[in-house]
Amino acid sequence: MLHMQMLQNQSIQLKISPELSQAISMLQYSAEELLSFLQEKAEENPLIEFDELMDYSFLPSHSSPNTQADPLEFIAAEDIHLTDYLLEQLLFFDLSPDEKRLTTYLIQCLDENGYLQEDENEMALRLHTTQSEVERCLQLIQSLEPAGVGARNLQECLLLQLENIHMRTPLAEHILSIHFEDFAYRKWTKLAKLLEVDIGQIQDIHQMVLTLDPKPGLSYSNQGSPAVMPDYTMQFQNGKLLVTKNGQGIWNISLNKAYETMLRQNKKTEEGSYLREKYKEFQWIQNGLHTRNNTIHNVVLSLADCQ
Protein backbone atom coordinates (compact mmCIF):
# COMPACT_ATOMS: atom_id res chain seq x y z
CA MET A 1 0.00 0.00 0.00
CA LEU A 2 1.39 3.40 -1.01
CA HIS A 3 1.63 6.18 1.54
CA MET A 4 2.02 9.84 0.75
CA GLN A 5 4.31 11.69 3.07
CA MET A 6 5.58 15.27 3.17
CA LEU A 7 9.30 15.62 3.76
CA GLN A 8 11.33 18.75 4.32
CA ASN A 9 14.93 18.79 3.07
CA GLN A 10 17.43 21.49 3.74
CA SER A 11 20.02 22.16 1.04
CA ILE A 12 22.39 24.91 0.05
CA GLN A 13 22.72 26.04 -3.54
CA LEU A 14 25.28 28.44 -4.88
CA LYS A 15 23.80 30.88 -7.36
CA ILE A 16 26.09 33.26 -9.18
CA SER A 17 24.59 36.61 -10.12
CA PRO A 18 25.15 37.97 -13.63
CA GLU A 19 27.34 40.72 -12.14
CA LEU A 20 29.61 38.22 -10.37
CA SER A 21 29.76 35.97 -13.44
CA GLN A 22 30.86 38.87 -15.61
CA ALA A 23 33.42 40.02 -13.05
CA ILE A 24 34.92 36.50 -12.94
CA SER A 25 35.07 36.37 -16.74
CA MET A 26 36.77 39.77 -16.94
CA LEU A 27 39.31 38.67 -14.36
CA GLN A 28 40.40 35.83 -16.66
CA TYR A 29 40.97 38.05 -19.70
CA SER A 30 44.43 39.12 -20.78
CA ALA A 31 44.98 42.82 -21.50
CA GLU A 32 44.37 42.25 -25.23
CA GLU A 33 41.24 40.17 -24.59
CA LEU A 34 39.92 42.81 -22.20
CA LEU A 35 40.37 45.51 -24.83
CA SER A 36 38.52 43.37 -27.37
CA PHE A 37 35.71 42.70 -24.86
CA LEU A 38 35.28 46.40 -24.04
CA GLN A 39 35.31 47.31 -27.73
CA GLU A 40 32.56 44.76 -28.43
CA LYS A 41 30.43 45.98 -25.53
CA ALA A 42 30.86 49.61 -26.61
CA GLU A 43 29.52 48.66 -30.05
CA GLU A 44 26.48 46.89 -28.58
CA ASN A 45 25.65 49.39 -25.83
CA PRO A 46 25.16 53.05 -26.87
CA LEU A 47 25.58 54.22 -23.25
CA ILE A 48 29.18 52.97 -23.11
CA GLU A 49 31.78 55.42 -24.35
CA PHE A 50 35.44 54.61 -24.85
CA ASP A 51 37.49 57.66 -23.94
CA GLU A 52 40.65 56.60 -25.74
CA LEU A 53 41.31 56.75 -29.49
CA MET A 54 39.95 53.70 -31.24
CA ASP A 55 42.58 50.97 -31.12
CA TYR A 56 42.49 48.74 -34.17
CA SER A 57 45.45 46.63 -33.13
CA PHE A 58 43.23 43.62 -32.35
CA LEU A 59 41.41 43.70 -35.71
CA PRO A 60 43.64 41.54 -37.93
CA SER A 61 42.78 38.40 -36.00
CA HIS A 62 39.06 39.39 -35.60
CA SER A 63 39.24 37.59 -32.24
CA SER A 64 37.16 37.88 -29.13
CA PRO A 65 37.72 36.63 -25.58
CA ASN A 66 35.68 33.49 -26.37
CA THR A 67 37.51 32.71 -29.62
CA GLN A 68 39.66 29.59 -29.46
CA ALA A 69 42.93 29.55 -31.35
CA ASP A 70 43.12 27.21 -34.32
CA PRO A 71 46.03 24.77 -33.75
CA LEU A 72 46.69 24.78 -37.49
CA GLU A 73 47.71 28.43 -37.24
CA PHE A 74 50.81 27.38 -35.34
CA ILE A 75 52.04 25.02 -38.03
CA ALA A 76 54.99 26.58 -39.83
CA ALA A 77 54.16 27.69 -43.35
CA GLU A 78 56.31 28.88 -46.20
CA ASP A 79 57.00 32.50 -45.30
CA ILE A 80 57.11 35.25 -47.86
CA HIS A 81 58.21 38.66 -46.73
CA LEU A 82 56.19 41.73 -47.64
CA THR A 83 59.12 43.21 -49.56
CA ASP A 84 59.51 40.08 -51.70
CA TYR A 85 55.76 39.87 -52.32
CA LEU A 86 55.60 43.48 -53.54
CA LEU A 87 58.72 43.14 -55.70
CA GLU A 88 57.21 40.07 -57.37
CA GLN A 89 54.16 42.12 -58.33
CA LEU A 90 56.37 44.81 -59.88
CA LEU A 91 57.43 42.31 -62.54
CA PHE A 92 54.02 42.77 -64.18
CA PHE A 93 54.60 46.50 -64.75
CA ASP A 94 56.58 48.06 -67.58
CA LEU A 95 58.81 50.40 -65.59
CA SER A 96 61.82 52.41 -66.66
CA PRO A 97 65.10 51.75 -64.81
CA ASP A 98 64.63 54.95 -62.77
CA GLU A 99 61.02 54.10 -61.91
CA LYS A 100 62.00 50.58 -60.87
CA ARG A 101 64.87 51.87 -58.74
CA LEU A 102 62.68 54.44 -56.97
CA THR A 103 59.73 52.07 -56.46
CA THR A 104 62.04 49.35 -55.12
CA TYR A 105 63.57 51.84 -52.70
CA LEU A 106 60.13 52.89 -51.44
CA ILE A 107 59.11 49.26 -50.94
CA GLN A 108 62.24 48.66 -48.87
CA CYS A 109 61.36 51.68 -46.72
CA LEU A 110 58.01 50.23 -45.66
CA ASP A 111 57.77 49.10 -42.04
CA GLU A 112 56.51 45.66 -41.00
CA ASN A 113 52.91 46.94 -40.98
CA GLY A 114 53.18 48.09 -44.59
CA TYR A 115 53.32 51.82 -43.78
CA LEU A 116 55.69 54.41 -45.25
CA GLN A 117 57.00 56.44 -42.33
CA GLU A 118 59.73 58.44 -44.08
CA ASP A 119 59.20 61.96 -45.38
CA GLU A 120 58.69 62.03 -49.15
CA ASN A 121 60.51 65.33 -49.64
CA GLU A 122 63.58 64.05 -47.78
CA MET A 123 63.58 60.87 -49.87
CA ALA A 124 63.33 62.93 -53.07
CA LEU A 125 66.36 64.99 -52.05
CA ARG A 126 68.30 61.89 -51.07
CA LEU A 127 67.61 60.16 -54.39
CA HIS A 128 68.03 63.31 -56.52
CA THR A 129 64.50 63.19 -57.86
CA THR A 130 61.29 65.19 -57.48
CA GLN A 131 58.61 64.78 -54.85
CA SER A 132 56.02 64.26 -57.59
CA GLU A 133 57.99 61.26 -58.87
CA VAL A 134 58.10 59.83 -55.36
CA GLU A 135 54.35 60.34 -55.05
CA ARG A 136 53.70 58.68 -58.42
CA CYS A 137 55.74 55.60 -57.50
CA LEU A 138 54.06 55.47 -54.10
CA GLN A 139 50.65 55.45 -55.79
CA LEU A 140 51.83 52.43 -57.80
CA ILE A 141 52.74 50.64 -54.57
CA GLN A 142 49.36 51.52 -53.08
CA SER A 143 47.68 49.75 -56.01
CA LEU A 144 49.39 46.45 -55.11
CA GLU A 145 48.30 43.71 -52.76
CA PRO A 146 47.67 43.61 -49.85
CA ALA A 147 45.19 46.48 -50.00
CA GLY A 148 46.25 49.39 -47.82
CA VAL A 149 49.99 48.84 -48.26
CA GLY A 150 52.07 51.97 -48.77
CA ALA A 151 49.80 54.13 -46.62
CA ARG A 152 51.34 56.90 -44.56
CA ASN A 153 48.90 56.64 -41.69
CA LEU A 154 45.91 54.63 -40.46
CA GLN A 155 43.40 56.95 -42.08
CA GLU A 156 44.95 56.56 -45.54
CA CYS A 157 45.31 52.79 -45.02
CA LEU A 158 41.58 52.39 -44.35
CA LEU A 159 40.63 54.65 -47.25
CA LEU A 160 42.79 52.63 -49.65
CA GLN A 161 41.04 49.45 -48.57
CA LEU A 162 37.66 51.11 -48.79
CA GLU A 163 38.23 51.65 -52.52
CA ASN A 164 38.37 47.89 -53.07
CA ILE A 165 35.19 46.75 -51.34
CA HIS A 166 31.67 46.78 -52.73
CA MET A 167 30.12 47.85 -49.40
CA ARG A 168 31.68 51.32 -49.55
CA THR A 169 29.35 54.30 -49.60
CA PRO A 170 29.87 58.03 -50.21
CA LEU A 171 29.01 58.59 -46.53
CA ALA A 172 31.71 56.16 -45.39
CA GLU A 173 34.32 57.78 -47.62
CA HIS A 174 33.29 61.24 -46.43
CA ILE A 175 33.49 60.31 -42.74
CA LEU A 176 36.89 58.62 -43.04
CA SER A 177 38.24 61.48 -45.17
CA ILE A 178 36.88 64.51 -43.32
CA HIS A 179 35.73 63.39 -39.87
CA PHE A 180 38.16 60.57 -39.09
CA GLU A 181 39.17 61.84 -35.65
CA ASP A 182 35.59 62.21 -34.41
CA PHE A 183 34.79 58.79 -35.87
CA ALA A 184 37.81 57.24 -34.15
CA TYR A 185 36.85 58.81 -30.83
CA ARG A 186 33.32 57.38 -31.27
CA LYS A 187 31.68 60.80 -31.25
CA TRP A 188 28.83 59.31 -33.23
CA THR A 189 26.07 61.47 -31.78
CA LYS A 190 28.01 64.57 -32.81
CA LEU A 191 28.61 63.16 -36.30
CA ALA A 192 24.98 62.16 -36.75
CA LYS A 193 23.81 65.70 -35.98
CA LEU A 194 26.54 67.30 -38.09
CA LEU A 195 25.88 65.13 -41.14
CA GLU A 196 22.11 64.92 -40.55
CA VAL A 197 22.07 61.13 -40.68
CA ASP A 198 20.82 58.40 -38.35
CA ILE A 199 23.33 57.21 -35.78
CA GLY A 200 22.66 53.65 -36.98
CA GLN A 201 24.22 54.53 -40.34
CA ILE A 202 27.43 55.58 -38.62
CA GLN A 203 27.45 52.38 -36.55
CA ASP A 204 27.03 50.37 -39.78
CA ILE A 205 30.08 52.14 -41.19
CA HIS A 206 31.96 51.27 -38.01
CA GLN A 207 31.05 47.61 -38.47
CA MET A 208 32.36 47.79 -42.03
CA VAL A 209 35.62 49.41 -40.89
CA LEU A 210 36.12 46.53 -38.45
CA THR A 211 36.42 44.19 -41.45
CA LEU A 212 39.43 46.15 -42.75
CA ASP A 213 43.04 45.41 -41.83
CA PRO A 214 44.84 48.29 -40.07
CA LYS A 215 48.22 46.55 -40.50
CA PRO A 216 48.16 44.96 -43.97
CA GLY A 217 51.85 44.13 -43.98
CA LEU A 218 51.89 42.30 -40.67
CA SER A 219 50.61 39.02 -42.12
CA TYR A 220 53.74 38.92 -44.32
CA SER A 221 56.21 39.47 -41.49
CA ASN A 222 58.33 36.61 -40.23
CA GLN A 223 57.23 37.02 -36.65
CA GLY A 224 55.73 34.22 -34.63
CA SER A 225 52.67 34.46 -32.44
CA PRO A 226 52.50 37.79 -30.63
CA ALA A 227 53.49 37.82 -26.98
CA VAL A 228 50.83 38.45 -24.37
CA MET A 229 51.18 41.82 -22.69
CA PRO A 230 51.13 41.36 -18.89
CA ASP A 231 49.23 43.77 -16.67
CA TYR A 232 52.23 44.04 -14.33
CA THR A 233 55.94 43.38 -14.57
CA MET A 234 58.41 42.63 -11.78
CA GLN A 235 62.16 43.15 -11.92
CA PHE A 236 65.01 43.56 -9.48
CA GLN A 237 66.81 46.89 -9.53
CA ASN A 238 69.63 47.63 -7.11
CA GLY A 239 68.61 44.67 -4.97
CA LYS A 240 64.98 45.81 -4.70
CA LEU A 241 61.93 44.31 -6.40
CA LEU A 242 60.24 46.88 -8.60
CA VAL A 243 56.57 46.31 -9.50
CA THR A 244 55.31 48.25 -12.53
CA LYS A 245 51.79 48.45 -13.97
CA ASN A 246 51.88 48.39 -17.75
CA GLY A 247 49.99 51.21 -19.44
CA GLN A 248 48.40 48.87 -21.99
CA GLY A 249 46.35 47.26 -19.23
CA ILE A 250 44.63 50.53 -18.24
CA TRP A 251 41.26 51.19 -19.89
CA ASN A 252 38.28 53.03 -18.55
CA ILE A 253 34.76 53.41 -19.84
CA SER A 254 32.45 56.34 -19.27
CA LEU A 255 28.75 57.04 -19.63
CA ASN A 256 27.68 58.71 -22.87
CA LYS A 257 26.33 62.12 -21.80
CA ALA A 258 23.80 62.40 -24.64
CA TYR A 259 22.20 59.05 -23.81
CA GLU A 260 22.36 59.82 -20.08
CA THR A 261 20.16 62.85 -20.74
CA MET A 262 17.76 60.73 -22.81
CA LEU A 263 17.63 58.20 -19.95
CA ARG A 264 16.48 60.88 -17.53
CA GLN A 265 13.91 62.33 -19.90
CA ASN A 266 12.31 59.05 -21.02
CA LYS A 267 11.82 57.12 -17.81
CA LYS A 268 8.36 55.69 -18.56
CA THR A 269 8.66 55.06 -22.29
CA GLU A 270 9.75 51.92 -24.13
CA GLU A 271 12.92 53.73 -25.10
CA GLY A 272 13.54 54.54 -21.45
CA SER A 273 13.14 50.87 -20.53
CA TYR A 274 15.75 49.92 -23.13
CA LEU A 275 18.16 52.59 -21.88
CA ARG A 276 17.72 51.49 -18.25
CA GLU A 277 18.64 47.94 -19.24
CA LYS A 278 21.74 49.20 -21.05
CA TYR A 279 22.61 51.42 -18.10
CA LYS A 280 22.48 48.42 -15.80
CA GLU A 281 24.85 46.59 -18.15
CA PHE A 282 27.17 49.61 -18.12
CA GLN A 283 27.27 49.49 -14.31
CA TRP A 284 28.05 45.75 -14.35
CA ILE A 285 30.95 46.24 -16.71
CA GLN A 286 32.28 49.26 -14.83
CA ASN A 287 32.14 47.39 -11.51
CA GLY A 288 33.70 44.30 -13.11
CA LEU A 289 36.54 46.41 -14.48
CA HIS A 290 37.10 47.96 -11.06
CA THR A 291 37.05 44.52 -9.38
CA ARG A 292 39.50 43.11 -11.94
CA ASN A 293 41.97 45.97 -11.44
CA ASN A 294 41.81 45.75 -7.64
CA THR A 295 42.08 41.93 -7.58
CA ILE A 296 45.10 41.80 -9.90
CA HIS A 297 46.72 44.65 -7.97
CA ASN A 298 46.31 42.83 -4.65
CA VAL A 299 47.51 39.50 -6.08
CA VAL A 300 50.61 41.13 -7.54
CA LEU A 301 51.44 42.82 -4.24
CA SER A 302 51.04 39.51 -2.41
CA LEU A 303 53.35 37.79 -4.90
CA ALA A 304 55.90 40.57 -4.46
CA ASP A 305 55.81 40.11 -0.69
CA CYS A 306 56.62 36.40 -1.14
CA GLN A 307 59.74 37.07 -3.23
pLDDT for res 92? 92
291 vs 99, residue with greater confidence? 99
Q: What is the mean pLDDT of residues 96-117?
A: 93
- Residue 30: which pLDDT band, with cuts at 50, 70 and 90? confident
pLDDT for res 10? 64
> Is the confidence at residue 14, as pLDDT, over 60?
no
> Is the confidence at residue 306, as pLDDT, over 60?
yes
> Is the confidence at residue 277, as pLDDT, over 50?
yes
3-state secondary structure the chain: CCCCCCCCCCCCCCCCCHHHHHHHHHHHCCHHHHHHHHHHHHHHCCCEEECCCCCCCCHHHCCCCCCCCCHHHHCCCCCCCHHHHHHHHHCCCCCCHHHHHHHHHHHHHECCCCCECCCHHHHHHHCCCCHHHHHHHHHHHHCCCCCCCCCCCHHHHHHHHHCCCCCCCHHHHHHHHHCHHHHHCCCHHHHHHHHCCCHHHHHHHHHHHCCCCCCCCHHHCCCCCCCCCCCEEEEEECCEEEEEECHHHCCCEEECHHHHHHHHHCCCCHHHHHHHHHHHHHHHHHHHHHHHHHHHHHHHHHHHHHC
32 vs 197, residue with greater confidence? 197
Q: What is the pTM of this model?
A: 0.53
46 vs 20, residue with greater confidence? 46
230 vs 87, residue with greater confidence? 87
Q: What is the pLDDT of residues 43-84, one digit of tens each?
A: 888 888 876 544 444 333 333 444 444 444 444 445 678 999
Q: What is the pLDDT of residues 121-169, one digit of tens each?
A: 999 998 899 999 999 999 999 999 999 999 999 999 999 999 888 767 8
